[in-house]
Amino acid sequence: MKVTLISIPVRDQEKALKFYTEKLGFLKKKDSPLGGGNRWLTLVSPEWQDGPELLLEPAPNHFEPCKVFQDALMEAGYPYTQFDTDDVQKDYDRLVELDVEFSVKPTEMGTVKIAVFNDTCGNNIQLVETL
């Protein structure tokens, strides 16, 4: 088995698409209408275009437990997921220049360096660099 797709809940797929492509640099891979204004909208890393796809899932708009879970994670400051990077400080500096808001600045924690930002779509995302 292998992971081919992971979803992240977003409340506005178009806003999420703009943030994840224009600020984070992901590439759109699939974009198919599902009805009701929803889309099967996936992204990939430009560094690993054949790797796992990130589904921008509109679940919080249609499934209350997902919305409650997403709100609870945000309120507690917990990241919904993490993205690995070769250089947390470099990505932090680049994203701050693009007005991305961080709740945790680059911080060394044992064998990793982390930073946490708000994706503007209801999620905290953690960047992780292995030291």
pLDDT confidence tier of residue 90, bands split at 50, 70 and 90: very high
Q: How is residue 101 annotated by DSSP? A: -
Q: Which contiguous run of DSSP H or E holds residue 66?
A: helix 64-76
pLDDT confidence tier of residue 33, bands split at 50, 70 and 90: very high
pLDDT tens track for 98-130 = 999 999 999 999 999 999 999 999 999 999 999
Instruction: CATH number of the domain at 76, please.
Output: 3.10.180.10
- Give the integer Cα–Cα distance in Å for 25 and 60: 24
Relative to beta strand 53-57, strand 5-9 is: parallel
Q: What is the pLDDT of residue 113?
A: 98
- Give the integer Cα–Cα distance in Å for 113 and 40: 33
Beta bridge partners of 92: none
Relative to beta strand 81-84, strand 124-130 is: parallel
Q: What is the pLDDT of residue 5?
A: 97
Q: What is the pLDDT of residue 54?
A: 98
Which tokens sit at 37?
Answer: 């204004």
What total number of domains does the chain contain? 1
pTM for the model: 0.94
pLDDT tens track for 51-84 = 999 999 999 999 999 999 999 999 999 999 999 9
Domain region containing 83: 5-130
Q: What is the pLDDT of residue 99?
A: 98
